[in-house]
Every structure is written in structure tokens, then in C-alpha cells.
Amino acid sequence: MKNSTLKTKESLKNTDSPKYYYSILGSLILILIWKLISLGYNPIILPSPEQTFITIYKMLFSSSFWLTIAYSFFRVVSAYLLSFITGSIIGIIMGLNKKIDIFLSPFISMLQTIPNISWILLAIIWFGLNSKIVIFTIFISILPIFVINSREGIKNTSQEYLEMAAVYQLKPLTIFTNIYIYSIKPYLRSAAVITGERAWKIGAMAELLSLETGIGAGLYWARNNLQTERIFAWTIVLVILGFTSSQLLKFILSDK
């Protein structure tokens, strides 16, 4: 048994390791292509990879860099948690009640189609120039994803489990916590991974158009000063934050 277990573990390691090799190889090829293209352009148009990474390195030792990250982090996390909780509750209610589902579905569909830029402009008018713009825009933009996924999780709950619960006359709270929550967890996990990256992009866009602090503001000032390498640097920082957030949420909401 021990030998078979070891073989299984080794086979899993062997199947997982190529993914990392291919990811690293793909990243290196991308950087190489970036470098080759940058040779034919002025750094103001397209900075080289080394210029961009040196800029990131210098930014790491600046207190203003970490303050900028802190502003964006607070806004993104606040809006994300608010949207996650609100969207999940609405979705669960819609999944459990057909009348409410029919009543709210057109509204949720409408929210999905409204572009982020419209929410940003409306938020500027409604709230003035402050962090509420970013929090509101992220909240309202990703809310439908949580609503739809949690609703689908409820609707796809195993009927066999529900029938067994009826036979054993389980209490509604027990059914909800042990059956429905178990059912919607994979759906919420999927929604969390998708929105984890999207929240950072929406937040940066809102900051760029409305505020003087945060990563979006950093992009704005880099553009005004024609510091293209800083635009690339902030973009890479956003990618890293978005990817890290999605992977962290994926781990937290995993079944393990």
C-alpha cells in the first residue's frame, strides 16, 4: 500500500510540474518578444523589459508606492467583501424562491450589461470625488456574478439530498448549512476567482478617472508625465495583485 501511495504522489507531481515549466517558458518568450519589439521604438513609445523591471524595483523602495497600494487595497477589499456577501444572499433568496427570481432576474441582467465607465461617471455625480466612487463601482459591477452563481448553485442542489432530508425530517437550518451551502460552494468559488482579478481592474479605472490616490492615479500621473515605463510598471503590479488575489481566493474556498 505504501509503495502504491508513493507512486501515486510521484505521478501527481510529474503531471503538475510541466504546467509550471510551460508557464515559465511562456513568460520568458513573451518577455523576449517584448524586448525585440522595443528595440525598434523610442522608450517613450515602448520601454524595454529591463527599464520596466528597474522601475518596479525602484518603486518598491518608495514609501509612496506602498501607500498607493494600501489605498487601492482598502477600496478593492471593502467593495469585494460587500459585493460577495450581498450578491450571495440575493442569489440564495432567488434560488429558493421562484417568484423573487422572476421578479429580480431582469434587474440583474440589466446590471450585467451596463458598462463600468457608466457606473464611474454616475458615481462621480452621486458621491463626489472620494473613495466611495471606487467602492461603489466595484460593488455594482461584480455583484451580478455573485448573484447568478449562487442562484445557480441553489437551483442545482441534488434532489436526492433534499429528499433524504425530508425523509429524516431535518430542520431547515440544517438543510441550508449542510446541503445548500455545500451545493453553492463550487459556484461561489468560480465567481470569486473571476471577480478577484476583475475588481482590481475596475478599481484602477475608477481611480484613474476620479481620484488622486491609488494605482489608477499612479497610471494617470505616469501618462501625464510621459513616463511610459511607469505605466508598464503599474500595469504589471496590477496583474500580480489580481492574479495573487484570485489564487488566494481559490485556495480559501477550496474543499481542502
**Are residue 146 and residue 19 in the same domain, yes or no?**
no
**Are residue 11 and residue 95 in the same domain, yes or no?**
no
**Are residue 134 and residue 229 in the same domain, yes or no?**
yes
pLDDT at res. 166:
75
pLDDT at res. 18:
67
Q: What is the rounded distance in angstroms from the CA atom of residue 101 to the CA atom of residue 128?
A: 34
| Residue located via cell numbers 433524504 | 164
185: containing domain: 47-252
Q: What is the rounded distance in angstroms from the CA atom of residue 24 to the CA atom of residue 4?
A: 31
**Are residue 105 and residue 72 in the same domain, yes or no?**
yes
Q: What CA–CA distances, in Å, run from 191 to 74, 108, 228, 246, 250? A: 20, 15, 33, 10, 10
**Are residue 194 and residue 247 in the same domain, yes or no?**
yes
Q: What is the rounded distance in angstroms from the CA atom of residue 5 to the CA atom of residue 103?
A: 53
Helix (H, G, I), strand (E, B) or coil at 229: helix
Say how many domains are in the chain. Answer: 2
**Are residue 32 and residue 93 in the same domain, yes or no?**
no
pLDDT at res. 25:
84
**Are residue 83 and residue 18 in the same domain, yes or no?**
no
**Are residue 94 and residue 131 in the same domain, yes or no?**
yes
**Are residue 12 and residue 71 in the same domain, yes or no?**
no
Q: Which of 180, 137, 141 is nearest to 159 (CA)?
A: 180
**Are residue 29 and residue 78 in the same domain, yes or no?**
no
**Are residue 172 and residue 188 in the same domain, yes or no?**
yes
Cα three-residue angle 61-62-65, rounded to 5 degrees? 115
pLDDT tens series, the chain, 256 aa: 444 444 444 444 454 556 668 778 888 899 999 999 989 888 889 999 999 999 999 999 999 999 999 999 999 999 999 999 999 999 999 999 999 999 999 999 999 999 999 999 999 999 999 999 999 999 999 999 999 999 999 888 877 777 777 777 777 777 777 788 888 888 988 898 889 899 999 999 999 999 999 999 999 999 999 999 999 999 999 999 999 998 888 888 776 5
Q: What is the rounded distance in angstroms from the CA atom of residue 138 to the CA atom of residue 42?
A: 36
